[in-house]
Amino acid sequence: MNGSYYQNPTFPTNQIPNQSIPTTPPGNISSSSMMTMEQSYIENILRLNKGKRVNAYVSYPDSSEWQNKIYTGIIEEAGRDHLILSDPNNGNWYLIRMIYLDYVEFMERINYSHDYSEKTF
């Protein structure tokens, strides 16, 4: 399409030819086991409590209609920047951005891991 005018750039590497690069860190640590070694960020606590019923209190500071809102549902997934709840009462699913999440109220005992071993409170 562009003929031979533009070619993809190549960048020099500081590797010795025929040197292999390990694809996993020493000790064969998988990404799933690395997640358990993270500090107790809110998304990790929410992940430990998948399947539990919660009220998620959310504030939308720039909205005149939805200044404060409560989402009730079951924790389906939690990521670094989002929380996914499903509400079995009405069939709705909610994707909530963590930046708007104020706090979470659990309807049952929660699992919490601070010292990398699962605890229940």
- Domains and their CATH numbers in the chain: 41-108 (2.30.30.100)
**Rounded Cα gap, residues 58 and 120, in angstroms:** 25
- What is the pTM for the complete model shown? 0.63
pLDDT above 70: residue 90: yes
Cβ pair 108, 52 in contact under 8 A: yes
Q: In sequence order, what are the residues at sequence separation of 6 or more whose Cβ sits closer than 8 angstroms to the Cβ of residue 29? A: none
Cβ pair 60, 100 in contact under 8 A: yes
* pLDDT tens-place string over residues 24-37: 455 554 444 444 44
Higher-scoring residue by pLDDT: 113, 49: 49
Cβ pair 118, 109 in contact under 8 A: no
* pLDDT tens-place string over residues 26-74: 555 444 444 444 555 899 999 999 999 999 999 999 988 889 999 999 9
Which amino acid is present at 34?
M
Angle of CA points 119, 32, 78, to nearest 5°: 65
pLDDT above 90: residue 110: yes
pLDDT above 80: residue 78: yes
What pLDDT was estimated at residue 64? 86
Q: Which of 14-23, 25-34, 89-98, 104-113 has the highest mean pLDDT?
A: 89-98
